[in-house]
Structure 1
Amino acid sequence: MSEGVEHKAQVLLVEDNLTDATFIRTILEKDGDIRVTLSQDGIRGCQLVESNRWELVVTDFNLPGRDGIEVILACKKHQPETPIIALSGYPGSDHKEGALRAGASDYLDKPIDGDDLISAARRVLKLKSEEETRTRVLLAIGAYPGDVELGCGATLMKQGMRGDDVHVAVISSGAAGTEAVERVEATDRACRVMGAQLHLPPDGTPELPESDIVLIRIRDAIEALQPDLVFAPSVHDVRESRQQVFTATEIAAAEVPSLFCYQAATTTLDFRPTHFEDVSDFLDQKMAALTYFQHLAEGRPHLHPSLARSTAQYWGRFLGYADVEPFEVIRQNL
């Protein structure tokens, strides 16, 4: 009786040059633990990422039918956790930046070095396997109530549904008296919808404290939670308070593997996201979380759910017109 079939990682290779495809397949299948399926055009490649589950996609840039960027976008839309290695024979950095912006995990120049290829493939496959079996801790930091819900609320819900431990830290209530209480209640209810544990300042701070106090509070939260990924407002912001939170987070999170920055209400046009998270399945829940802020939305139209939905659709042009939350990636080592 058989003791079981050895698992082979299923890899999709999209490459129209048969010589290159044969070389790549030989390298990847050499040790017997990877099985490669070949597509020689972009249209078929996009169909395969939609209809099959892959543990790795390797795609060339210059393809008949649809190019490599379209293959990457299709993969990120239909199976966003699948790592992608992009290949290109074009010199310069434009193609590399385009591939990484679209969602590729790695990029290799042609002619392909066999050792570099197998090292890259095993690295991303190992990371994917570890991610599937390990619970991560995520910490999202907001200067005020509503910052996190607006900037990365759907992403937190998505990761929480996958088993990650999600936390939200708010540095200041941004108000005093009754309004402060209402804001705290709104963010508490929103965090319950998001499945996140809320951490509030100990004194109900109405205004953002001095820089050293902000740094201490963020550092204390990071030391207590030991997060794998931290979200913070972008430094590209009109308000100095959000710039201050970013700066403190960047210092306090120096040892955290990954640091992403989200778009806040007052983020400027200098915001340059390179990671686009498909949150199509979680956008309605995000809208539900934002409804708790509607009674506070007078003078704050950014908290209106319809505007948040429009923003998600706007950024979707970078990910096959899915509903998207955009992030600047300061560091990504997950």
Structure 2
Amino acid sequence: MRVLVVLQDHRAAGHAAQVLRGAGADVVTVADPAHAPTAAAAGDPDVVVADADLLTRAGRVVETVRTQAPDAAVLLLTDRLDVEGALTALRHGAQDLLVAPVDGPALVAAVERLGARARGARSRTRRAVVLAVGAHPDDVEIGVGGTLAAHRARGDAVVVLTLSRGARGGEAAVREAEAVAAAELLGARLFLRDLPDTALGTSGATLAAVEEVVAEVRPDVVYTHGAHDRHQDHRAVHEATVVAARRVPFVACYQSPSSTVDFRPTSYATIDGHVETKLALLRCYASQSAVRVYLDPALVVATARYWSRLGDGDAVEPLEVVRDVTPAHAVATTRSTAAAPTAEV
């Protein structure tokens, strides 16, 4: 059970987190309510526990959180419970209210009940979980930044796994901050590992890192580097991801600046309406923009336009499909046919 705690009383927040973690929940606490929407987008909570007065204060934080995590159940804590307050809470989408201070068992019972209800509703209108795996910060944004933005726009949960902090290509701390900024802009959950840049292996720590995230997020769709790539880290991540995602219904490889002419896409993701988002994601990587020609916005737009000759729309990201056993009744994420190999998200 994933729980986001947004309580302005730090002691109450700490107590709630401790109690819920003791019951087996994965808890994220936010001290500043202004950061709650970003945390909701990244963490995809089942339940949000918040102060009731955040309905009307601090920019209607609870309403904003609900836009980022529409499937989450909302549990509000209030100092006093009256009819008017209860009606206001229900009108704003709360599923339950408790009068503070709340004892541990009552809090756990309420969260478990609301979480089970939220997960049941989510399973009936299930969104896809999309995992994009890259060797270095900015890899996935270059390869499938528009595709990931399209997934988010349709309500899918997006997860980014970056296996190194790119220390050989810049300052690791700077590149880490850039990766965090890009994930926040995209509304993605970010896993950032610190494996050795330019020396990633195909097994061992690399494989373990990818398998760990695959097991945690259980993706329906995985995007990663292709096998035909001049960069050794990209090839290693490709091999590790294909193994780790062996039970994932859909796995595809994106094009990198270092992809060779043997990169041969079989599916084409239309990103019309999401090119500007892709450019904004790439602008997060300011330390690289000054030294990497392939981050030139004009080249990024031209590349998307070039691939549109094989797909639908005016802008396309190419994909090499490795595995596609998505059942017809599942959430459609990519579609291709022999006659017209196009992809839609």
Q: TM-score range by the shorter chain?
A: 0.5 to 0.7
The corresponding residue for 1:236 is 228
Please give the per-residue CA displacement for 1:135-164, whole angstroms capped at 9, x wherever unaligned. Answer: 111100000001000100111111111111
Instruction: Work out whether 1:316 is the aligned partner of 2:335.
Output: no
Task: Provide structure 2 residue ranges, at least 5 long, that are not aligned to the other structure.
Answer: 1-121, 327-345
The corresponding residue for 1:210 is 201
Instruction: Work out whether 1:162 is the aligned partner of 2:150.
Output: no
Shift in Å, 1:206: 4.4
CA, structure 1 residues 132+152, in 2 after alignment: closer, same or farther (shift >3 Å)?
A: farther
The corresponding residue for 1:227 is 219
Are 2:200 and 2:236, in contact at CA under 8 Å, matched by a contact in 1? no
Q: How does 1:1-334 map to 2 (within 5 A)?
A: 133-175=125-167, 179-201=171-193, 203=194, 205-211=196-202, 212-320=204-312, 322-334=314-326
TM-score, normalised relative to structure 2: 0.56
3-state DSSP of counterpart to 1:281: coil
Shift in Å, 1:134: 1.9
Shift in Å, 1:178: 7.2
Are 2:197 and 2:233, in contact at CA under 8 Å, matched by a contact in 1? no
* CA distance in 1: counterparts of 2:209 and 2:289, whole angstroms: 28
* CA distance in 2: counterparts of 1:312 and 1:176, whole angstroms: 28
CA-atom RMSD, angstroms? 2.2
3-state DSSP of counterpart to 1:149: helix
Give the total of aligned pairs: 204
* CA distance in 2: counterparts of 1:320 and 1:226, whole angstroms: 30
TM-score, normalised relative to structure 1: 0.58
* CA distance in 2: counterparts of 1:144 and 1:178, whole angstroms: 11
CA, structure 1 residues 268+198, in 2 after alignment: closer, same or farther (shift >3 Å)?
A: same
Are 1:149 and 1:286, in contact at CA under 8 Å, matched by a contact in 2? yes
* CA distance in 1: counterparts of 2:123 and 2:298, whole angstroms: 33
Residue type of the alignment partner of 1:210: G
Please give the per-residue CA displacement for 1:96-125, whole angstroms capped at 9, x wherever unaligned. Answer: xxxxxxxxxxxxxxxxxxxxxxxxxxxxxx
Are 1:232 and 1:245, in contact at CA under 8 Å, matched by a contact in 2? yes
* CA distance in 2: counterparts of 1:176 and 1:261, whole angstroms: 24
CA, structure 1 residues 310+237, in 2 after alignment: closer, same or farther (shift >3 Å)?
A: same
* CA distance in 2: counterparts of 1:275 and 1:263, whole angstroms: 12
Shift in Å, 1:207: 4.6
CA, structure 1 residues 244+210, in 2 after alignment: closer, same or farther (shift >3 Å)?
A: closer
CA, structure 1 residues 133+289, in 2 after alignment: closer, same or farther (shift >3 Å)?
A: same
